[in-house]
Amino acid sequence: QVTLKESGPGILQPSQTLSLTCTFSGFSLSTYGMGVGWIRQPSGKGLEWLANIWWDDDKYYNPSLKNRLTISKDTSNNQAFLKITNVDTADTATYYCARIESGSYYFDYWGQGVMVTVSS
């Protein structure tokens, strides 16, 4: 059974760095073809893809966030991470992590999401 769960700080101030953790089970990021992506959704708005990381440590980022994103993984502990630097109020959203496989490339399993508020 595949499960994912996001965790984060809840609230942070503008200019700080947002650190998110995705803890998963039912698959491994050391297995060929497996990947994890991060997607966010401001309240009442649509979904925005942020980044993907693959079993071979290949990484892809949304260029709209320029160089603010860093995705990484800890295969031993079944975790994936996302850091967003220099946050502002526009980064207030629910952040999701989701599983992806290289044979299919769509997000098949999603976490429950974690709400992050950026406020001074």
Partner 1 sequence: DIQMTQSPSSMSASLGDTVTINCLASQDIGNYLSWYQQKPGKSPKLMIYGATNLEDGVPSRFSGSRSGSDYSLTINSLGYDDEGIYHCHQYYEYPLTFGSGTKLEIK
Cα–Cα distance for residue pair 24/28, rounded to 1 Å: 8
Please give the backbone phi and psi of residue 31, each rounded to the nearest 5 degrees, phi first: -85, 135
Size of site (CB under 8 A) for partner 1: 22
Instruction: Confirm or reject binding of residue 55 to partner 1 (CB under 8 A).
Output: no
Instruction: Confirm or reject binding of residue 32 to partner 1 (CB under 8 A).
Output: no
Instruction: Confirm or reject binding of residue 112 to partner 1 (CB under 8 A).
Output: yes
b/e per residue 53-70 (b: at least 16 CB within 10 A) = bbbeeeeebbeeeeebbe
Cβ proximity to partner 1, 15 vs 56, nearer residue: 56
Cβ proximity to partner 1, 16 vs 41, nearer residue: 41
